[in-house]
Amino acid sequence: MLKIATAAYPLDELDSWQAYADKIEAWVAEAAGRGAKLLVFPEYAAMELAPLAGRAVTAELEPSLRAVSERMPEADALHSRLAGQYGVHILGGSAPVYDDALGARPVNRAVFFAPGGDKGVVDKQIMTRWEREPMGCVGGGPLKVFDTDLGRIGVLICYDSEFPLLGRAMRDVDVLLVPSCTDTLAGYWRVRIGAMARALEQQCVSAMSSLVGPADWCEVCDVNTGAGGAFGPPDVGFPPTGVLAEGVLDAPGWTYAEADLEKIAQVRADGGVLNRTHWAEQAGRDGAPTVERLQ
């Protein structure tokens, strides 16, 4: 049984690196102390690093993006150390990262850390309207799936979870991580519905994390609405609602869920329905429909 912790994470205007490191470690220690082995921080949680450069930087969008990007090697080292120290896998909060190999504009990048010291990066594929303008973010490197001691793990960052073909690319994962940052209740539900739909289609578990609360110093995520949660296919071995766990809206803290990888295999092999297996039967039926006029 895999215990997952998904964060409803508030951004603080921190004044030192040590304050940031202490906060992240406190969150990791709490989840690990509750027996969680897979920890999921939200999209843009790394914007918490911007205030370390001072108010003059956080007051401007582009300088704040660059300030966060410059701190990511330190943040990665911190998360890697904590993953090893506490014996957990961690999806760190995503960040705008300027990667020369991908062009002049930042990508929205999350890093996945294993306790043995390995790490892998995953970039958001499809930008929201606000990420396109004014942020100027671009889609990053290819989708990745990580084979781990916990099972096969995939990541779709926020808006990416709303696109079924990206979810289909993750068809062999056991757990799909969906870190999110949404400023409205409607946005939260769009991502949550996407996460639930992907769990239904590919008969896997999805785990959603969210930023929560105000951060008026941060133009990227000044208002945040959401909750942690984990979802599965509403089928044999899973709750009839598909909801494994859900946090309280906008209440900071971890939401815990247990995922049974054997049940994932069972529902894929012999569920009440076999969405994942029957996916290919859409081919040839998904063209433009015939239009018939009725009066």
Whether 66 is in a domain gets the answer yes
| 63 occurs within a structural domain | yes
Residue 100 lies in a domain: yes
Q: Please indicate, yes or no, if residue 281 is contained in any of the structural domains.
A: no
Asked, for residue 50, whether it belongs to a domain, the answer is: yes
Give 197-252 pLDDT, tens digit per residue: 999 999 999 999 999 999 999 999 999 999 999 999 999 999 999 999 999 999 99
CATH of the domain at 13: 3.60.110.10
CA distance to 42, 145, 160, 233, per residue, from 154 (Å): 15, 5, 12, 17
Instruction: Say what the pTM is.
Output: 0.97
Helix (H, G, I), strand (E, B) or coil at 141: coil
How many structural domains comprise the chain? 1
CA quadruple 145, 212, 251, 232: dihedral, nearest 10 = -30
**What is the phi/psi pair of residue 253, to 5°?**
140, 175
Q: Report if residue 265 sits inside a domain.
A: yes
pLDDT in tens, 125-160: 999 999 999 999 999 999 999 999 999 999 999 999
E strands present in the chain: 2-10, 38-40, 89-91, 95-97, 107-113, 119-123, 145-148, 151-155, 175-180, 205-212, 229-231, 243-246, 253-259
